[in-house]
Homo-oligomer: A and B are copies of this chain.
Amino acid sequence: MGRLSIGELARKTGVHIETIRYFEKIGMLGAPARTAGGHRVFDDGHLRTLKFIKRARELGFAPKEVRTLLDLGGPAEACCDEVREIAIHHLEEVRRKIDDLTRLERHLTATVEQCSGGHVPDCAVIDMLETARP
Protein backbone atom coordinates (compact mmCIF):
# COMPACT_ATOMS: atom_id res chain seq x y z
CA MET A 1 0.00 0.00 0.00
CA GLY A 2 1.72 3.12 -1.23
CA ARG A 3 2.06 6.13 0.97
CA LEU A 4 2.55 9.14 -1.26
CA SER A 5 3.45 12.71 -0.54
CA ILE A 6 1.61 15.35 -2.53
CA GLY A 7 4.69 15.85 -4.70
CA GLU A 8 4.95 12.17 -5.56
CA LEU A 9 1.24 12.07 -6.35
CA ALA A 10 1.66 15.09 -8.60
CA ARG A 11 4.53 13.44 -10.45
CA LYS A 12 2.67 10.16 -10.87
CA THR A 13 -0.47 11.77 -12.22
CA GLY A 14 0.78 14.89 -13.95
CA VAL A 15 -1.62 17.00 -11.90
CA HIS A 16 -0.23 20.16 -10.31
CA ILE A 17 0.25 20.19 -6.56
CA GLU A 18 -1.97 23.23 -6.20
CA THR A 19 -4.65 21.55 -8.24
CA ILE A 20 -4.56 18.48 -6.00
CA ARG A 21 -5.09 20.69 -2.96
CA TYR A 22 -7.84 22.47 -4.89
CA PHE A 23 -9.56 19.17 -5.69
CA GLU A 24 -9.43 18.28 -2.02
CA LYS A 25 -10.89 21.63 -1.04
CA ILE A 26 -13.87 21.35 -3.38
CA GLY A 27 -14.47 17.75 -2.35
CA MET A 28 -13.50 16.16 -5.66
CA LEU A 29 -10.75 14.18 -3.95
CA GLY A 30 -11.10 12.81 -0.42
CA ALA A 31 -9.05 14.34 2.37
CA PRO A 32 -5.91 12.28 2.90
CA ALA A 33 -4.26 11.28 6.17
CA ARG A 34 -1.69 13.60 7.68
CA THR A 35 1.69 13.21 9.28
CA ALA A 36 2.23 14.51 12.81
CA GLY A 37 3.55 17.68 11.22
CA GLY A 38 0.54 18.16 8.97
CA HIS A 39 1.85 16.93 5.63
CA ARG A 40 -0.64 15.07 3.45
CA VAL A 41 -0.22 11.31 3.03
CA PHE A 42 -2.08 9.84 0.07
CA ASP A 43 -2.73 6.16 -0.66
CA ASP A 44 -3.41 4.08 -3.77
CA GLY A 45 -7.09 4.99 -3.67
CA HIS A 46 -6.24 8.63 -4.06
CA LEU A 47 -3.89 7.79 -6.89
CA ARG A 48 -6.58 5.82 -8.70
CA THR A 49 -9.20 8.51 -8.17
CA LEU A 50 -6.93 11.32 -9.29
CA LYS A 51 -5.97 9.42 -12.44
CA PHE A 52 -9.66 8.83 -13.07
CA ILE A 53 -10.43 12.53 -12.69
CA LYS A 54 -7.62 13.52 -14.99
CA ARG A 55 -8.58 11.07 -17.70
CA ALA A 56 -12.26 11.99 -17.56
CA ARG A 57 -11.38 15.69 -17.88
CA GLU A 58 -9.09 14.93 -20.81
CA LEU A 59 -11.96 13.10 -22.48
CA GLY A 60 -14.03 16.24 -22.14
CA PHE A 61 -16.31 15.29 -19.27
CA ALA A 62 -17.36 18.42 -17.37
CA PRO A 63 -16.26 18.71 -13.73
CA LYS A 64 -19.84 18.12 -12.57
CA GLU A 65 -20.08 14.98 -14.69
CA VAL A 66 -16.80 13.75 -13.27
CA ARG A 67 -18.14 14.26 -9.79
CA THR A 68 -21.28 12.30 -10.61
CA LEU A 69 -19.22 9.51 -12.16
CA LEU A 70 -17.11 9.38 -9.03
CA ASP A 71 -20.19 9.21 -6.82
CA LEU A 72 -21.62 6.39 -8.94
CA GLY A 73 -18.41 4.51 -9.57
CA GLY A 74 -17.17 4.76 -6.03
CA PRO A 75 -19.36 2.29 -4.18
CA ALA A 76 -19.90 0.51 -7.53
CA GLU A 77 -23.50 -0.27 -6.69
CA ALA A 78 -25.99 1.77 -8.72
CA CYS A 79 -23.59 1.48 -11.58
CA CYS A 80 -24.35 1.01 -15.22
CA ASP A 81 -27.71 2.68 -15.78
CA GLU A 82 -26.75 6.13 -14.65
CA VAL A 83 -23.18 5.94 -15.85
CA ARG A 84 -24.46 4.90 -19.24
CA GLU A 85 -26.84 7.84 -19.36
CA ILE A 86 -24.06 10.31 -18.62
CA ALA A 87 -21.86 8.71 -21.23
CA ILE A 88 -24.61 8.79 -23.86
CA HIS A 89 -25.39 12.41 -23.10
CA HIS A 90 -21.72 13.21 -23.37
CA LEU A 91 -21.52 11.30 -26.63
CA GLU A 92 -24.33 13.39 -28.12
CA GLU A 93 -22.49 16.57 -27.19
CA VAL A 94 -19.30 15.25 -28.69
CA ARG A 95 -21.08 14.50 -31.97
CA ARG A 96 -22.66 17.94 -32.04
CA LYS A 97 -19.27 19.51 -31.42
CA ILE A 98 -17.67 17.49 -34.21
CA ASP A 99 -20.37 18.68 -36.62
CA ASP A 100 -19.86 22.31 -35.63
CA LEU A 101 -16.12 22.11 -35.97
CA THR A 102 -16.31 20.33 -39.30
CA ARG A 103 -18.48 23.09 -40.71
CA LEU A 104 -16.04 25.66 -39.37
CA GLU A 105 -13.14 23.74 -40.82
CA ARG A 106 -14.65 23.76 -44.31
CA HIS A 107 -15.44 27.44 -44.00
CA LEU A 108 -11.95 28.34 -42.81
CA THR A 109 -10.25 26.21 -45.43
CA ALA A 110 -12.20 27.79 -48.24
CA THR A 111 -11.53 31.24 -46.87
CA VAL A 112 -7.82 30.77 -46.40
CA GLU A 113 -7.51 29.38 -49.94
CA GLN A 114 -9.14 32.51 -51.30
CA CYS A 115 -6.63 34.61 -49.43
CA SER A 116 -3.84 35.78 -51.70
CA GLY A 117 -1.50 36.54 -48.85
CA GLY A 118 -0.58 39.93 -50.23
CA HIS A 119 -1.11 43.41 -48.90
CA VAL A 120 -4.47 44.04 -50.42
CA PRO A 121 -7.21 45.95 -48.68
CA ASP A 122 -9.67 43.12 -49.24
CA CYS A 123 -9.08 40.09 -47.06
CA ALA A 124 -11.26 37.04 -47.29
CA VAL A 125 -10.74 36.17 -43.66
CA ILE A 126 -11.78 39.59 -42.45
CA ASP A 127 -14.72 39.49 -44.83
CA MET A 128 -15.81 36.17 -43.43
CA LEU A 129 -15.71 37.56 -39.94
CA GLU A 130 -17.62 40.66 -40.91
CA THR A 131 -20.35 38.75 -42.61
CA ALA A 132 -23.16 38.09 -40.22
CA ARG A 133 -24.32 34.52 -39.97
CA PRO A 134 -27.60 33.93 -41.86
Contact = CB atoms under 8 A, between A and B. Distances in A.
Interface of A: 48, 51-52, 55-56, 58-60, 69, 72-73, 76-81, 83-84, 86-88, 90-91, 94-95, 97-98, 101-102, 104-105, 107-109, 111-112, 115-121, 123, 125-126, 129-133
B51 A83 contact: no
Contacts of A121: 76-77, 79
A81 B112 contact: no
Name A's interface SS.
helix
Contacts of A60: 101, 104
A69 B115 contact: no
Given A69-B125, A80-B120, A98-B98, 12 more contacts: A52-B129, A55-B132, A56-B129, A59-B107, A59-B129, A79-B119, A80-B118, A81-B118, A87-B115, A91-B108, A91-B112, A94-B101
Nearest to A51: B132
